[in-house]
Chain A
């Protein structure tokens, strides 16, 4: 395949879903030897286009040409056979399998019906040397870092003969250092004649760093085509959103009050019984946001859970408003004034088969005014007052702009943004003193993201102490008053936001640098 040759041509691709025109006559050409980024917000039609390109969806109109020949793929397998591979955002790997097993899964073996691990290993090593994709084929995937897992995904595609590589949000889970590494690998692969198509939502600096060309999608349409060299972040952003973008939300000056959340020397174990937190200490004052940056899996989830009483602290203490709440039952900690936005909205935050109203009282169902005693001579409140619940739910629906048919709508039928609004409504309406927000805007569109961030800032201005945990470094940088970097269960350092720069934080995320003070003087 010669560099510059058109590998894939998409012509007039149109796809409709009930009520949405996801792709509207999209034309894109992909050439061999280039890195061609597709940029667009959540809801711009990127995912649909990607799924069409990968054969998961069939377009309603339009044609796809591969090497000039028209194709009508019915499943990913057809596209794999044409040499088009995919690297998913959430890696499609099996943690308990070795790297080799993951790579040869589903392929015919040379010793059918038996596996031929040795031959596969040899081929993998060849590929990894050719493109600089360092990986140990014998390792189990759960032992690998995120960067290594991504390399396994890439090899998996190449092993199947991919000449074109679709990559879904390839940089979203990587540290800045790993992004640089990836960029090198991709360039090397492009040089060898491969075509690479990264789909990117909002990591504009990385689009600039990685790609040769950019196609911008908005509301299902192509709104711009750029040579990367001839454009800049600002114009890309303008095309993508359709208006000037504020990179930073306006943040008011708030007088910091007393310390509300204090964490001292916290140790905890992960689900696998290894230490996930190793002596974490910090404190947050009234009206302050402490952002926790870090690559996923470095103890973020455990930190949030220990504070909320959902995971045992092996050592150390958690204090809310000076009161020791370490290892108290979750309910007690909630009563002490903790609000918690868990990372997994659908799994941990809400009950999808409950209505909006039922979800709103998930934490307060046994407290007045929702529970009452009736005539029973017990201290405990045994009965639920549905009228109170309904009234309250209706109030919150309005206050938080939750778009739903009504309070009786099942949570299952809400969009991601509305689900998060529902959680926010429930948590904030209790007027917590401390708010732990874990990945509050992950996977949300721009509108919902902005709403959530505004609400968080509003809470900060009200005097709430907020622990903001996010894998989105931009979010941490722009929202926080101070930034703590978590790496392998330890805090690498805490920096005031105005003094933190991307590069330094990036280095700390990779564990290579520790700032002088672990805790700035109180």
Chain B
């Protein structure tokens, strides 16, 4: 059985995009010392609001903007609870996640009516990059995608620079490693973490709206299907740096893209088992990084100034 390698590779690039968008934001959140377990919820709400924005305005850019802003506001909610009030980050994240499932379903049924699957939008068209897209093999793999795919690939080095080469990035990393030390140097620990969660929420919201606006062109309940959680694994695997996260996203996207081809090519395997693929791959990746993980020293610990 010969697999269509070029098509699958192109699909990997496309499939990894939403994972990567969410993961890039989460890298900053985790570097600042916060675990955002609400990320799946932020993606889901972003997916719906992005779709609604694109549907009512007829403009996909507006859809992305709405998804981003709504994701950011859920990020602000998470930040308020977990940074400002110091609520257990795991409990806060879980609560936000389940709340978001309800919120997205309720809003969709209220706004789009009972049968949301029938409402579709005209989504993103792929943009063929002149000349480059004509290249054999590489052309179809890399240069025949929608605009967001390109933007995200460009963002990876930009996020790397932001994290490791700027004063802001230094502050983010310091706050995650030793918030007390950062505090003594006049860095506002809460403000930095808040900002990171806003960024993380915005990116998660954008990632969600990518699914509805750029990929499916339709609202599906629970469209994210665990992609937010997988983004967390991508971040763990990527040791919280953008380049390695890119690699992690590609590995898991392989599972997603193979799903489509195997369902046709390997029809004798019940399709449910093929659908399990990315989740199994995620578990393997998770077990594979055990012991090699370097978490920021203050990861998951709310910061409170000691009162002497």
Which residues of the other chain, A, contact B184 by a CB distance below 8 angstroms?
Answer: 76, 86, 88, 92
Q: How far is the CB of A434 from chain B (nearest CB, A)?
A: 32
Segment at the interface with B among A97-105, A224-232, A388-396, A463-471 = A97-105
Q: Which of B167, B168, B182 has the most CB of A within 10 A?
A: B167
Contact (Cβ within 8 A) A114 B167: yes
Instruction: Flag whether A284 is at the interface (Cβ < 8 A).
Output: no
B181: A residues at CB distance < 8 A: 92-94, 105
Bound form: Cα–Cα A51–B180 in Å: 14
Q: How far is the CA of A80 from the CA of B186 in the complex (A)?
A: 9
B193 interface hit (Cβ, 8 Å) = no
Q: Are A97 and B174 in contact (CB under 8 A)?
A: yes
* B166–A47 CB distance below 8 A: no
Known A-B contacts A57-B308, A76-B184; A114 and B166 likewise in contact (beta carbons under 8 Å): yes
**0/1 interface trace, chain B 164-183, chain A, CB 8 Å (1 if under):** 01111011011001101110
**Could you tell me how many residues of chain A have their Cβ less than 8 Å away from some Cβ of chain B?**
29
- Is there an interface contact between A113 and B168, defined as CB atoms closer than 8 Å? yes
Contact B173 A97 (CB under 8 A): yes
B181 nearest in chain A by CB position: A92
A106's contact among B177, B180, B186, by CB below 8 Å, is which? B186
Instruction: Decide yes or no whether B185 CB sits under 8 A from chain A.
Output: yes
Interface residues in B, total, Cβ within 8 A: 19
Enumerate chain B residues within 8 angstroms of A106, measured Cβ to Cβ.
Answer: 171, 174, 182, 185-187
Q: What DSSP secondary structure best describes chain A's contact surface?
A: loop
| A44-64 near B? 1/0 per residue, CB < 8 Å | 000110010000110000000
| 0 or 1 for each of A8-49: is its CB under 8 Å from B? (1 = yes) | 000000000100000000000000000000000000000110
Contact residues of B between 35 and 73, Cβ < 8 Å to A: none
CB distance from B195 to the nearest CB of A (A): 14
Q: A92-B181, A94-B178, A96-B177 are in contact. Are A104 and B166 (CB under 8 A)?
A: no
Smallest Cβ distance from B103 to chain A, in angstroms?
33
Residues of A within 8 A of B178 (CB): 92-94
* B165 surroundings in chain A (CB, below 8 A): 114-115
Name A105-144 residues within 8 Å CB distance of B: 105-109, 112-115
Most buried by B among A86, A92, A93, A94: A94
Residues on B with C-beta less than 8 A from A86 are 184
State whether A77 touches B167 (Cβ < 8 A).
Answer: no
Q: Which of B168, B171, B308 contacts A48 (CB 8 A)?
A: B308
A400 to chain B, nearest CB (A): 27
* B174: A residues at CB distance < 8 A: 94, 97, 105-106
Tell me the chain A residues, 297-350 only, with Cβ under 8 Å from chain B. none
Name the distance in Å between B172's Cβ and chain A's nearest Cβ: 11
- Mark interface residues in B137-179 (1 if CB within 8 Å of A CB, else 0): 0000000000000000000000000000111101101100110
Q: Smallest distance from the beta carbon of A76 to chain B beta carbons, Å?
A: 6
* Residue in chain B with minimal CB distance to A76: B184
CA gap between A86 and B184 in the complex, in Å: 9
Contacts of A114 in B (CB 8 A): 165-167
A75 CB–B CB distance under 8 Å: yes
Inter-chain contact A92/B177, CB cutoff 8 Å: no
Per-position binary interface string of chain A over residues 71-95, scored 1 when its CB falls under 8 Å from any chain B CB and 0 otherwise: 0000111001000001010001111
Are B167 and A51 in contact (CB-based, < 8 A)? Answer: no
On chain B, the residues within 8 Å of A109 by CB distance are 167
Q: Which residue of B lies closest to A50 (CB)?
A: B308
- Bound Cα distance A115, B164 (Å): 9
| Interface pair B167/A113, CB less than 8 Å apart | yes
- Indicate if the CB atoms of B177 and A108 lie closer than 8 Å: no
| Beta-carbon nearest neighbor of A91 in chain B | B181
B-contacting residues, A155-172, CB 8 Å: none
B235 CB to closest chain A CB (Å) equals: 17
Select A104's contact among B168, B170, B180, B308, beta carbons within 8 Å: B170
Q: Which residues of A contact B297 (CB under 8 A)?
A: 95-96
Contact status of A115 and B170, CB under 8 A, knowing A92-B181, A96-B177 = yes
Q: Which residue of B lies closest to A54 (CB)?
A: B184
Q: Are A77 and B180 in contact (CB under 8 A)?
A: no
Q: Are B186 and A77 in contact (CB under 8 A)?
A: yes
Contacts A94-B174, A113-B166, A114-B167: A105 and B308 contacting too (C-beta < 8 A)? no
Residue from A51, A109, A112, A115 having most chain B Cβ neighbours under 10 A: A115
Measured CA separation A109–B166 after assembly (Å):
9
Residues from chain A with a CB closer than 8 A to the CB of B185 are 76, 92, 105-106
A51-B308 in contact (CB<8A): yes
Do B168 and A105 touch (CB < 8 A)? no
State how many angstroms separate the Cβ of B187 from the closest Cβ of chain A: 5
Residues of B288-308 whose CB lies within 8 A of A: 297, 308
Chain B residues with CB under 8 Å of A97's CB are 170, 173-174, 177
Q: List 13 A-B contacts (CB under 8 A).
A: A48-B308, A51-B308, A57-B308, A76-B184, A92-B184, A92-B185, A93-B181, A94-B181, A105-B182, A106-B185, A113-B166, A113-B167, A114-B166
Which A residues contact B (CB, under 8 angstroms)? 17, 47-48, 51, 56-57, 75-77, 80, 86, 88, 92-97, 101, 104-109, 112-115
